[in-house]
């Protein structure tokens, strides 16, 4: 009896599992449909602002912060670090295109390396390629460079 129950559960589970197939496009459509239905008064283009598009108090606070952004000092410090040449005479500009405006290119999957490449990893690889020590992640010069880039 127990063997019969286990077999039936296995067959039903396999049948249900095989029957459920959604493509990434189907998942995206379902995701978008869920939020546009749940928040019908929100313009579709405004969803890019995340929670600020659906929560008025949060958006108000965000807009007030943006009047005097607290990260501007980091951007200035990052630009100073960007402009400072390495000991070998090269700079970050030799590693990154578009004058450092590359945030939108990261992270990405590098199939050859079989790993995700973050901008911070690329910054440290640039430094090491040019004979510099890598920076610590998340604060200090790395945070400044990340803010600038």
Give the model confidence (pLDDT) of 112-127 as tens digits: 999 999 999 999 999 9
Give the model confidence (pLDDT) of 38-51 as tens digits: 999 999 999 899 89
Cβ atoms of residues 87 and 129 within 8 Å: no
Task: Check residue 21 and give its pLDDT.
Answer: 78
Cβ atoms of residues 142 and 135 within 8 Å: yes
Give the model confidence (pLDDT) of 56-98 as tens digits: 999 999 999 989 888 888 999 999 999 999 999 999 999 998 8
Phi, psi (rounded to 5 degrees) for 83: -75, -15
> Which of 16, 145, 24 lies closest to 136, judged by CA?
145
Q: How far apart are CA 144 and CA 135, in angstroms?
A: 11
Cβ atoms of residues 103 and 118 within 8 Å: no
pLDDT band of residue 129 (cuts 50, 70, 90) is very high
Cβ atoms of residues 79 and 93 within 8 Å: no
Give the model confidence (pLDDT) of 102-115 as tens digits: 989 999 999 999 99
Cβ atoms of residues 123 and 148 within 8 Å: no
Cβ atoms of residues 33 and 25 within 8 Å: no
User: How many degrees, rounded to 5, is the angle at CA 108 between CA 96 and CA 72?
Assistant: 55
pTM summary value: 0.60
């Amino acid at each position: 009896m127990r063997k019969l129950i286990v077999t039936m559960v296995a067959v039903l589970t396999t049948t249900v599992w095989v029957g459920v197939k959604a493509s990434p496009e189907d998942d995206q459509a379902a995701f978008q449909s869920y939020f546009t239905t749940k928040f019908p008064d929100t313009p579709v283009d405004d969803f890019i602002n995340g929670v600020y598009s659906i929560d008025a108090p949060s958006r108000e606070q965000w807009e007030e912060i943006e009047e005097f952004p607290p990260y501007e000092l980091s951007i200035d410090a990052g630009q100073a670090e960007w402009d400072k040449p390495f000991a070998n005479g090269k700079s970050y500009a030799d590693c990154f295109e578009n004058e450092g405006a590359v945030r939108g290119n990261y992270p990405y999957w590098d199939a050859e390396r079989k790993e995700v490449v973050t901008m911070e990893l690329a910054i440290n690889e640039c430094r090491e390629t040019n004979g510099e020590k890598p920076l610590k992640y998340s604060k200090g010069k790395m945070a400044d460079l990340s803010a600038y880039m």
